[in-house]
Amino acid sequence: MPSERFKHGYAHDVFLSYTHADDQPDAGRRWVTQFVSDLEARLQSVSGKSVNIWRDESRLAAADRFNDTIAQALRSSAILVVVLSPSYFASEYCRKEREVFSDHARAEGKESVGTRSRVVKVAKFRVGLEKYPPDLRELLEHKFFVESPNSTMCREFHLSDDPAIRERYKTRIDDVAQEVANLLAALEPARPLAESNGLVYLAETTSDLEPQRDELRRQLEQLRYEVQPRAELRLLSARELRNAVAEMIEKCQIAIHPVGAYYGIVPEGVEGKSVVQIQLELAKTASRNGDLPKIIWVPEGMVPQEEVQKRFLERLRTEFAGRGFDFLEGPYSAMATRVEDRLKASARGSRDVSAPPSGVYLVCGNRDRSLAKTLRSFLFHQRFQVEWPPNSLNSDELTGNPEHQKLMRRNSAHLVVHGETGEGWIQDRIRELNEVQQQGTISSQTTSPQAIPRQAIYLANPRRDDKEDILVHDIVLLEGYAPSAVGDVLKPYLDRIGGTAAAAPSATEDAASAAGGLS
């Protein structure tokens, strides 16, 4: 057993706040006693140090329990771990324990370690929003129970009939141990928390996808990303929820939205929308919509279990896929790889500020302007200079328009969006592209007076027979039908017109390689 202890200056590493009702014999075990034993063993394993966990094991009545010994132990503890349950919130002495710990931490000026609270929240059983005091709402919650996706019932891991759910207890113990060990290490002199590689928004989802979401969160944290949200969104009011999610998304490098077989929790005051839907809509309307990579992941073979979820999925496929969102239906490993690729691209983009821009004219009809906006933002953040028809120009009647012809001549590359536009419209655009190919162009963006433009047609929904019949020479045809990801569809075109040069691997990429990536 390790003999060395953390050198944070406190007598105890952890003070455990709980009620004795949660340690009564239950299914052949005392839950709190087992939890402490398992946590201590795992803490020693992940930290390589001896760990001291203090808890009150007396059997005194609640009125007699809180005394000077407990108060002194609280003031002498580095971390407070609270075990939440209905009986915990009914306990006045548990509230008093949190109060004494917080008051002392505040007096020391050590309420948090970096951005992390010194209070770690363990949820033994589900408790309603109305029971949560403000000091416990804005903390990550390690849940040791599973909720039924289509009812209000929940069951602790150890009581489940499903062996896979019972096994989740061990993984959750490790989650708590990892968080506590990191906090204890950061409290040591000259041992701050490792510098974060950035923020990732990993949206809350339904209980059927919680294991996969937890796995992705662990892998991201191992790569030193800070994962949001940390607070349980169900514990926030409707206004708090919207404000908090919008603020977090604005700060994050990527937003990942797992979507499962159920519609999910519908908070009060949100017009019948689930937490899953609210997060997606806020990501869609974020002011950083153009440069924020967003991924919707639906597991391979997933079958919606509710009619409302079936309709919601269809809406995601038609209104979200390809319009600022990568829509991925596949296995977990494919999603994890996509996340890793997007984070690497983001890291390269943040370093590569010297790459020369390339002029691209993005041609679209009026009804395809929304999709074109997504493509424009994507190209811009790949370091291309992008122009498109101004609002004053009727994009459905471009033939012969002087402003349109000027944009055609001025740019060295052309990308035509063909979705809602008709067959006659696209044939006019093909004739224009062929004419420019034959004539060449004098482009203000190039040094060659006869630079031949690089051209593509982006085929988007709806699918039609006339789109399948398009035959062109020296023009790249890109099939961008939903649920294709914009970045994947554009890759052949970007290869042709010359994207930014690959940068040297970053520390983030090296970390991903060392950890075996996310998949």
DSSP E strands: which ranges in 408-510?
413-418, 454-459, 476-479
Mean pLDDT across the chain, nearest whole number?
Answer: 83
| Cβ contact 89:131 at 8 Å | yes
| Residue range 79-120, pLDDT digits in tens | 999 999 999 999 998 999 999 999 999 999 888 887 789 999
pLDDT band at 463 (very low <50, low <70, confident <90, very high): very high
Res 337 pLDDT > 60: yes
Please tell me the predicted confidence (pLDDT) of residue 145.
92
Question: Lowest-pLDDT range, 86-95, 315-324, 427-436, 498-507?
Answer: 498-507
Please tell me the predicted confidence (pLDDT) of residue 44.
92
Could you tell me which residue, 15 or 381, shows the higher pLDDT?
Answer: 15
pLDDT band at 65 (very low <50, low <70, confident <90, very high): low
Q: At what angle do helices 486-497 and 369-380 cross, to 10 degrees?
A: 60
Could you tell me which residue, 66 or 378, shows the higher pLDDT?
Answer: 378
pLDDT band at 457 (very low <50, low <70, confident <90, very high): very high
Please tell me the predicted confidence (pLDDT) of residue 351.
46
DSSP E strands: which ranges in 38-91?
53-54, 77-84
pLDDT band at 349 (very low <50, low <70, confident <90, very high): low
Q: Is pTM, for the whole model, over 0.85?
A: no
Please tell me the predicted confidence (pLDDT) of residue 59.
53
pLDDT band at 194 (very low <50, low <70, confident <90, very high): low
Please tell me the predicted confidence (pLDDT) of residue 355.
40
Question: Lowest-pLDDT range, 24-38, 86-100, 112-126, 193-207?
Answer: 193-207
Most confident by average pLDDT, 108-117, 123-132, 162-171, 321-330: 162-171
Res 375 pLDDT > 60: yes
Res 78 pLDDT > 90: yes
Q: Which fold has domain 1-193?
A: Rossmann fold (3.40.50)
Tell me if the domain spanning 197-351 has CATH number 2.70.150.10: no
Please tell me the predicted confidence (pLDDT) of residue 167.
92
| Residue range 259-299, pLDDT digits in tens | 999 998 888 777 889 999 999 999 988 765 557 889 999 99
**Would you say the CATH fold of 355-497 matches that of 197-351?**
yes
| Cβ contact 276:223 at 8 Å | no
Please tell me the predicted confidence (pLDDT) of residue 61.
46
What percentage of the chain has pLDDT greater than the value 70? 86
What's the mean pLDDT in 191-205?
81
Could you tell me which residue, 64 or 336, shows the higher pLDDT?
Answer: 336
* Domain ranges for the chain: 1-193, 197-351, 355-497
| Cβ contact 422:398 at 8 Å | no
Please tell me the predicted confidence (pLDDT) of residue 511.
38
The two three-digit tokens of residue 230, written as one number? 């940390």
CB neighbour class for 133 (10 Å; exposed up to 12, middle 13-18, buried from 19): exposed
What's the mean pLDDT in 180-195?
79
Q: Please state which architecture CATH assigns to domain 355-497.
A: 3-Layer(aba) Sandwich (3.40)
| 241 residue type, one letter | L
The conformational region for residue 349 under phi > 0 = left, psi -120 to 50 = alpha, else beta, is alpha
Please tell me the predicted confidence (pLDDT) of residue 111.
86
The two three-digit tokens of residue 410, written as one number? 């001025």
